[in-house]
């Protein structure tokens, strides 16, 4: 019998005590500090937003620090405490927990809580990921624009309390599974990055068309259309997909409008291009080829490029030439949000070979891209399967029968 089976057998023997978190331990809210108080070297701290962006189930070191002169004004989590996000943009973010296993204390933000108890802190943090905890937590989240969870609400949520050795055994197994999952993800991501670089290499080779190929400015061959805002027209029942930066960069259509509300229609052969993105963002200058009429609308911060004469410049070739074009990426300074201007785009210089050469280039690059997409899909499926396996065992290990009174 392996360790998982032993623990599953143990938890069936007579059940365990079920306690509210308020009975099992105590909660204390952090104290205020701002991002302006953060420094490169100072008092270790955890900002509430970092709990769901920077940390996993446990942590031994902080990623941020605050000024030394704030020392007496702050509240600190001790080693063995669990730090819980009390605020978030989504219900899922609220209640995310990280067990603090560092050698010393860490300051916590006032939009988070520390939970102190005799329970294994990592066991508690793992339990906060379970479907059972999430369902109970959701009953106590205030659903304003910013989602909030109070300490009084979370203290009423129950938690199974098996013997400490069983808690630690569960942590040991889940830690091992988490580590294996992380290693697999790193390996698969490395493979995907290698294939992506390979695609980029071949793309660059294909696009080296030789000195005899004429070079022209994009503005000499295309018409430019700056898209208008559609936010007030968004309708889940709409049939026209809204081409936002997210849609173009990820291929996920998650916002729609009705045909009569379209402000910037896109037609077959148009090339949509993202004009604005965060510093070092992956969406800037990303393009999308429109393959049908009446299916898409371009949203603000996206433009449409329309070839004036497909006998001179094939729309699909334009799409391939402009997609993350280095001349456009050069406007990203890595510090400020990038906003491409009309002339920045129209002044890009691209090769204009005969259309039969353009067709051959497009065919090769379409094939290379399909291979990359297929690989990415396979990696995503493999990671999803491993994640489901992990969640299955986590739910089984952290579900207990209550001990009879």
My answer on whether 27 and 117 are in the same domain is yes
Element (H, E) at 28: strand 25-29
- HSE (side-chain half, CA atoms, 13 Å) at 384: 6
Residue 405 three-state SS: coil
d(CA 357, CA 335): 39
Asked if 127 and 191 sit in the same domain, the reply is no
The domain that contains 229 carries what CATH number? 3.90.220.20
Going residue by residue through the chain (405 aa), what tens digit of pLDDT does each one get? 466 666 666 655 667 899 999 999 999 999 999 888 999 999 999 999 999 889 999 999 999 999 999 999 999 999 999 999 999 888 888 999 999 999 999 999 999 999 999 999 999 999 999 999 999 999 999 888 889 998 899 999 999 999 999 999 999 999 999 898 888 888 888 887 887 787 778 777 766 777 888 999 999 999 999 999 999 999 999 999 999 999 998 878 889 999 999 999 999 999 999 999 988 888 999 999 999 999 999 999 999 999 999 999 999 999 999 999 999 999 998 888 899 999 999 999 999 999 999 999 899 888 888 887 788 788 888 888 888 988 898 898 888 888 766
Same domain, 200 and 266: no
Q: 140 with 149: CB under 8 angstroms?
A: yes
Q: What is the pTM of this model?
A: 0.66
d(CA 48, CA 46): 6
Backbone φ and ψ of 365, nearest 5°: -70, -35
Question: Which range marks the domain in which residue 388 is found?
Answer: 1-16+163-213+354-405
At 20 the pLDDT is: 96
* Domain tally, the chain: 3
Nearest to 379 by CA among 174, 201, 248, 196: 196
Q: Of 352, 371, 388, which marks where a domain is finished?
A: 352
* Closest to 37 measured CA to CA, from 83, 85, 76, 73: 73
Q: How far is CA 72 from the centre of its chain?
A: 36
Same domain, 108 and 170: no
- H or E element, residue 349: strand 349-351
State whether 114 and 167 are in the same domain: no
The verdict on 155 and 184 lying in the same domain is no
Same domain, yes or no, for 46 and 128?
yes
The verdict on 136 and 27 lying in the same domain is yes
Task: Return d(Cα 329, Cα 338) in angstroms, integer.
Answer: 9
Residues 35 and 139 in one domain: yes
Q: Do 241 and 337 lie in a common domain?
A: yes
Query: Are residues 193 and 218 located together in one domain of the fold?
Result: no
Q: Are residues 370 and 324 in the same domain?
A: no
* Alpha carbons 96 and 45: distance in angstroms, whole number: 17
Q: What is the largest CA-CA distance in the chain?
A: 88
For the chain, first and last CA: distance in Å? 31
């Amino acid at each position: 019998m392996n360790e998982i089976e032993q623990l599953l057998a143990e938890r069936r023997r007579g059940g365990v005590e079920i306690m509210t978190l308020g009975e099992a331990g105590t909660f204390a809210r952090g104290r205020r500090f701002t991002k302006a108080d953060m420094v490169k070297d100072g008092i270790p701290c955890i900002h509430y937003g970092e709990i769901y962006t920077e940390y996993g189930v446990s942590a031994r070191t902080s990623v941020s620090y605050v000024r030394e002169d704030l020392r007496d004004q702050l509240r600190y989590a001790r080693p063995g405490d669990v730090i819980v996000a009390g605020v978030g943009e989504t219900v899922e973010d609220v209640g995310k927990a990280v067990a603090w296993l560092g050698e010393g204390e860490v300051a916590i933000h006032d939009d988070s809580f520390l939970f102190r108890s005799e329970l294994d802190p990592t066991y508690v943090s793992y339990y906060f990921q379970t479907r059972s905890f999430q369902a109970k937590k959701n009953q106590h989240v205030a659903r304003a624009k910013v989602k909030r969870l109070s300490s009084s609400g979370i203290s009423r949520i129950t938690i199974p309390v098996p013997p400490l050795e069983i808690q630690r055994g569960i942590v040991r197994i889940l830690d091992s599974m988490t580590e294996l999952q992380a290693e697999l993800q790193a390996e698969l991501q490395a493979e995907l990055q290698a294939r992506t670089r390979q695609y980029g290499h071949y793309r660059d080779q294909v696009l080296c068309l030789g000195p005899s190929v004429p070079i022209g400015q994009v503005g000499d061959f295309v018409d430019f259309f700056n898209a208008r805002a559609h936010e007030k027209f968004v309708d889940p029942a709409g049939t026209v997909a809204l081409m936002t930066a997210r849609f173009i960069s990820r291929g996920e259509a998650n916002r729609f409008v009705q045909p009569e509300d379209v402000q910037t229609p896109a037609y077959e052969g148009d090339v949509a291009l993202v004009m604005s993105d965060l510093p070092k963002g992956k969406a800037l200058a990303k393009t999308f080829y429109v393959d049908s009429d009446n299916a898409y609308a371009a949203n603000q911060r996206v433009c449409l490029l329309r070839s004036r004469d497909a006998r001179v410049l094939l729309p699909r070739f334009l799409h391939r030439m402009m997609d993350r074009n280095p001349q456009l990426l050069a406007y990203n300074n890595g510090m400020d949000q990038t906003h491409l201007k009309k002339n920045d785009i129209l002044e890009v210089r691209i090769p204009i070979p005969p259309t039969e050469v353009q067709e051959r280039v497009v065919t090769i690059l379409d094939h290379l891209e399909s291979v990359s997409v297929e690989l990415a899909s396979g990696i995503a499926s493999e990671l999803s399967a491993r994640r489901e396996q992990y969640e299955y065992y986590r739910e089984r290990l952290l579900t207990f029968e209550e001990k009879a009174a």
